[in-house]
């Protein structure tokens, strides 16, 4: 469904991503791990097509089509959706209105808001004065209204309180697992690429494959639960070293893919 080939990306005049190769098949959910600043958000922003993320090398293929030079709108319309880590404030734009406009009135914002404990937020300006967890839930609400075929989530659980995490998890699950979606889905339905820091979201989604990013490259790939276990016990140092021993990388991949 999504294929990233030898992708290098420059941000603010500096190369932040180097030679990234990642693929997500339709029907699959892949997760991205990696320490702060390793380039996870940069990768998702680049896939969405935000300006300021300059592709200097490589290609992004979505459902067989090269989208590397397509506009953000075109990518969204073809079925890619993103929950941003740090979305901008939209002063004067009420969340409920936005949902109405983007879904062309097809989606009941009230119902979605209730699902996500955001009832009072529909008349508030998008992201203005929202707490970290509120931003996540508002992003999820918008994404649910958009219902993209390829779902990208940037740390969906971070900042979400323990009361809301259940609701967020459930919504994420629905979003990734549903069958119908807007845009082009793959042969076996939707696909997803999820950044997680804590791994908490893995309790709610069936992750198929994990990648660990370090210093702008993919250091390891493998079974997401095993990778998470390793990160929890050994920290990220191990992953950086696994990049050096390419052999181990392949091994992990084989075991993980089962």
Q: Name the site residues for another protein (rule: CB under 8 A).
A: 48-52, 71-73, 75-77, 81-82, 84, 87-93, 98, 101-102, 125, 142, 146, 182
Q: Given the complex with ligand ADP, which of 115 and 230 has the nearer CB atom? A: 230
Which partner from the list ligand ADP, Mg ion, another protein, none does 164 bind, CB cut-off 5 to 8 Å by kind? Answer: none
- State the binding string over 12-51 for ligand ADP (x if CB under 6 A, else -): x---x-----------------x-xxxxxxx---------
What is the DSSP track for 161-208? -HHHHHHHHHHHHHHHH-S--BS--BTTB-EEEEE-SSSGGGGTS---
Q: How far is the CB of 14 from ligand ADP (least distance, A)?
A: 6
Q: What is the DSSP letter of 94?
A: B
Binding of Mg ion by 41 (CB under 5 A): yes
CA distances from 136 to 82, 104, 225 (A): 11, 22, 23
Residue 225: CB minimum distance to ligand ADP, A: 20
Separation between Cα atoms, residue 171 and residue 246, nearest integer Å: 37
Tell me whether residue 17 or residue 175 sits nearer to ligand ADP (CB atom).
Answer: 17
Burial of 18 (C-beta count, 10 Å sphere; 0-12/13-18/19+) = middle
Tokens linked to 59 = 């290609």
- Interacting residue ranges for ligand ADP, rule: CB under 6 A: 11-12, 16, 34, 36-42
Per CB under 5 A, residues contacting Mg ion are 41, 85
């Amino acid at each position: 469904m999504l294929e990233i080939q030898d992708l290098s990306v420059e941000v603010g005049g500096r190369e932040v991503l180097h030679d990234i190769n990642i693929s997500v098949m339709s029907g699959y959910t892949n997760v991205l791990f990696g320490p702060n600043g390793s380039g996870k958000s940069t990768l998702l922003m680049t896939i969405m097509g935000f300006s300021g993320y300059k592709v200097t090398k490589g290609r992004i293929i979505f459902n067989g089509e090269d989208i590397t030079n397509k506009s953000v709108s075109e990518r969204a319309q073809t079925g890619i959706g993103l929950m941003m880590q740090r979305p901008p404030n939209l002063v004067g734009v009420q969340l409920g209105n936005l949902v109405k406009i983007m879904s062309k009135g097809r989606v009941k914002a009230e119902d979605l808001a209730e699902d996500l404990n955001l009832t009072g937020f529909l008349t508030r300006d998008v992201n203005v004065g929202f707490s970290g967890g509120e931003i996540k839930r508002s992003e999820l609400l918008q994404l649910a209204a958009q219902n993209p075929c390829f779902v990208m989530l940037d740390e969906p659980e971070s900042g979400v309180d323990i009361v809301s995490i259940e609701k967020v998890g459930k919504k994420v699950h629905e979003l990734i697992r549903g069958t119908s979606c807007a845009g082009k889905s793959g042969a076996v339905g939707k696909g997803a690429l999820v950044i997680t820091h804590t791994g908490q979201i893995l309790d709610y989604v069936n992750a198929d494959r994990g990648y660990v990013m370090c210093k702008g490259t993919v250091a390891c790939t493998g079974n997401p639960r095993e990778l998470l276990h390793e990160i929890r016990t050994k920290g990220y140092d191990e992953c950086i070293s696994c990049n050096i021993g390419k052999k181990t990388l392949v091994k992990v991949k084989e075991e993980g893919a089962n």
